[in-house]
Amino acid sequence: MPMTNKEVAAFLERVGEILEIRGENVFKARAYYSAARTIESLGEDVSKIVADGELDELPGFGEALTEKVSELVRTGQMKYYDEITADLPEGIFELLDVGDVGPKKVKLFYDKLGIGSVAELEAAARSGALAELPGMGDKSQAKILAGIEQGKEHRGRWLLSQAVPLGERIVAVVEKLEGVKRVSLGGSIRRRRETVGDIDVLVSSKRGAHVIAEFTKLDGVERVLASGDTKGSAVFSPGIQADLRVVEDKSFATALHYFTGSKEHNVRMRQLAKDRGWKLNEYGLFDGDKMLASKDEKALFAHFGMDFIEPELREDTGEIEAALKGALPDLVESRDIRGALHVHSDWSDGRVTIEELAREAVSHGFSYMTISDHSQFSHGLDEKRLGEQWKEIDRVRRIAGGIDILRSCEIDIMKDGSLDIDDETLQGLECGIASVHGSTELGAAEQTRRIIAAVSNRYVDILGHPSQRLLPDQGGMAFDVEAVLSACAARGVAVEISADPMRLDLDWRYIKTAKALGCKFAIGLDAHEKEHFGWLTYGVSMARKGWLEKGDILNTLTARQFRERLGRRRKRRKA
């Protein structure tokens, strides 16, 4: 199989990282990073471009780079890669997957301490040796240890965005098989956890062996782990395990409930059944030897006098008590979201023009959009360039039908809590998003003061991806989450729920708390290309896991209501 654009881009990123580790000329590494971004953003397969001999027409592709990338695309290998990795320990590349460790630190650790694996890095951190290195210290050492521990916890887990498309493809094929009555995803993917260990699929059928045999033959199966009459397991490219279970149709509702989980939710439900003299398991709900019929999960919950509990809520965070009282929230849905917030264009690090973004937003049903390119600290726009961009936004507003485009910016929060754009320019924004991108190693108290200072600026409307976490294994900055959320609530600053599958930040575990503190929310796409508009579903999933309703989220407002809300808030804070 030819390499995909993403696979080629990832390979080139790794080459750039290796060059940095080796201490090569910085421009050489940047050339590979730039080539990776170019390949990933192509609108056609790079294999076709190579076959047509047109690779050297791409920006930044000189003779040497063209030759190496062509070799990679044609053969799946690159001799240059073998040359620059020949004398490096194999485990050194694993260091790049540890939170807060990049190529420069890998080079430092390797040059000074000979560290070439995560195990050696952990040993050095626990001995205190890392803290003695230039530019490190106790805080950096502690953060690396935390990153190693988090990596252990999340090892073998996949982003929700990696698992959902595969899971839905499996369901779409299986539901068409002869003898299949019902089919559904289960497990953590159905509960929409931000990462999943595997994919659970439940089927009701009297032809279990046939269904499982066909399941193990699906496109993308790398190897079959089990194939029987009631359960099949297979590993699909790129390494995700999927388990398919077959049950009788009369047991489908209780089996779906059981295999959806969570474990804690199931324990509570089984205890409720026991308190009533019943027994609940994956085979059914029983009163003695009598099976209490449950045609679906709604009927199952009704036996307990409970409202239906949406899968996202089944984490034993109060959903059972609320269902018994009829007090569950009316959860937000994707169709409720009217505005595409936090969208990057090619004025900073986006890959699409503002005009193209406007057309794409309309095609997804959005009625307004904020162009929120990075500010100068993150290699984005300074005050002058922002003014120039606003003219382009005005131009596109005049020609783009069906969408309102707001002047926005993702403003960097500096180490002292100030912003990297002056207030005179910020006054011209219609929606200000403030985010941390640097100095993430600060202690919790200092980080908390920094963020609160930033959201106290009257031109900040939204706090962007609050924790700076990167899934699946980087937990984000240390700060007093409740103090920051309280400050946002008091100042009328909305908290972003990033739909970027590698962030999904604010963590859903804090969203319910934030709502109780009085916060409003904004589901931000953090989109950098057209395909990222499809990320909305993941942001909505996190909002639902946090018990949010339509009225809790700013971009469920109409464009006029959204503008009025921001305008009223700024007037109040100015007064």
Q: What is the pLDDT of residue 154?
A: 54
pLDDT below 70 — which residues of the chain?
1-2, 43, 99, 150-155, 473-474, 572-575
Amino acid occupying residue 180 = V
Roughly what angle, to the nearest 10 degrees, separates helices 208-215 and 160-174?
130
What predicted TM-score, i.e. pTM, was given to this entire model?
A: 0.77
Q: Are 566 and 431 within 8 A, CB to CB?
A: yes
What is the C-alpha separation between 199 and 123, in angstroms, rounded? 34
Q: What is the pLDDT of residue 484?
A: 98
Which residues pair with residue 496 across a beta bridge? 522
Say which CATH class 334-574 falls into: alpha beta
Tens of pLDDT along 116-140?
A: 888 899 899 899 999 899 988 888 8
CATH dotted code for 89-155: 1.10.150.20
Q: What is the pLDDT of residue 91?
A: 81
Q: What is the pLDDT of residue 389?
A: 98
Q: What is the pLDDT of residue 438?
A: 82
Say which CATH class 158-247 falls into: alpha beta
Q: What is the pLDDT of residue 441?
A: 76
Report strand pairing: 462-463 vs 494-498: parallel
Q: What is the pLDDT of residue 574?
A: 59
Do 1-81 and 334-574 agree at the fold level? no
Domain regions of the chain by residue span? 1-81, 89-155, 158-247, 260-325, 334-574
Multiple choice CATH, 260-325, 3.10.105.10, 3.40.640.10, 3.30.210.10, 3.40.50.300: 3.30.210.10
Q: What is the pLDDT of residue 370?
A: 98
Left (φ > 0), alpha (ψ -120 to 50) or beta: where does 53 sit?
Answer: left
Q: Enter the tokens of residue 523.
A: 């589901």
User: What homologous superfamily is domain 1-81 in, according to CATH?
Assistant: DNA polymerase beta, N-terminal domain-like (1.10.150.110)
